[in-house]
Amino acid sequence: MRVRDLNWFQLEEYLGSDDRVVLPLGSTEQHAYLSLETDNILAERVAAEAAEPLGVPVLPVQPYGLTPSFGAYPGSPTLRAATLMAVVQDILDSLHAQGFRRILIVNGHGGNQPADAARREWNAAHADAETLFHNWWVGSNVWALVQELDPGASHASWMENFPWTRLPGVELPAERKEPLAQPLPAHPRAMRETAGDGQYGGFYALPDEAVLRVWAAGVEETRELLEHGWRGT
């Protein structure tokens, strides 16, 4: 259940019997032909679908992440690593002060890894609480399906192309893009020259039957972690 659908009285009542909450992390950035908010949409939606049957509240997505190499693509603002880490720790401190003790961070952007370091540092200072960090798109079952369907698929490819990240009237290329050579350049202009439309490799689209299998696996793995991933469960 998203907290947008609750008031504080209801959330306080929830805290009388449960101390779990979910914090989605995203990034507003280029995703080739898909929405600039792809990472935000996916992180919040997979968190909400995973948490709904368990009755666990889901916070609004933190919509800005660490994406400095996309600076030459309009609509891709970035935080500094130190800022991202500080924001995450500030949110964790606030949630802890309000009574939450088990906090699952569902991350939708690979560049947000400093947030994982921030929560590990925070965990070390809070023996009475536990925070987990989950990159939903590389869970073992999700990644196995991706490799089965299109090895080499990556950023802004079909594996992020769901009905809820597509834009009306935008036609995607039909061909498969060869994976970009690694490592990718860090400088924004060099990155744009290398990545072109911004897609990193793989098909731009696959049939919904295939991508929804991936989505279902992502929801299931996130729910399993939210239900059974804590110490002592």
Pair of tokens at residue 140: 């073992």
Confidence band for 180, pLDDT divided at 50, 70 and 90: very high
Query: How confident is the prediction for the chain on average, in pLDDT?
Result: 97
Pair of tokens at residue 22: 């979910």
What's the average model confidence in pLDDT over 164-175?
Answer: 97
Q: Specify whether the CB–CB gap between 163 and 36 falls below 8 A.
A: no
Convert 180-202 to b/e letters by CB count within 10 Å (16 or more is b). Answer: beeeeeeebeebbeebeebbbbb
How far apart, in whole angstroms, are the C-alpha atoms of residue 149 and residue 216? Answer: 15
How far apart, in whole angstroms, are the C-alpha atoms of residue 120 and residue 186? Answer: 26
How far apart, in whole angstroms, are the C-alpha atoms of residue 76 and residue 103? Answer: 28
- Going by C-alpha positions, the residue among 154, 129, 119 that lies closest to residue 25 is 119
State the pLDDT at residue 83: 98
The kind and range of the H/E element at 80 are none
Percentage of the chain modeled with pLDDT above 70: 100
pLDDT in tens, 29-38: 999 999 999 9
- Going by C-alpha positions, the residue among 11, 101, 117 that lies closest to residue 59 is 11
pLDDT in tens, 32-79: 999 999 999 999 999 999 999 999 999 999 999 999 999 999 999 999
Q: Specify whether the CB–CB gap between 37 and 161 falls below 8 A.
A: no
Pairing verdict, β 20-25 and 102-107: parallel
Q: Specify whether the CB–CB gap between 122 and 85 falls below 8 A.
A: no
Residue 233 has pLDDT above 80, yes or no: no
pLDDT in tens, 110-157: 999 999 999 999 999 999 999 999 999 999 999 999 999 999 999 999
Residue 99 has pLDDT above 90, yes or no: yes
State the pLDDT at residue 70: 98
The structural domains of the chain, ordered by start, are 3-228 (3.40.50.10310)
Strands (DSSP E) along the chain, which ranges?
Answer: 20-25, 102-107, 130-135, 176-177, 202-203
How many alpha carbons lie under 13 Å from residue 215 in its C-beta half-sphere?
Answer: 22
Q: Which backbone phi and psi does 101 adopt, to 5 degrees? A: -125, -20
3-state secondary structure 56-72: CCECCCECCCCCHHHCC
Confidence band for 232, pLDDT divided at 50, 70 and 90: confident
Place of tokens 């089965």: 148
Type of residue at 113: Q
Residue 213 has pLDDT above 90, yes or no: yes
In DSSP terms, 105 is beta-bridged to 23, 133
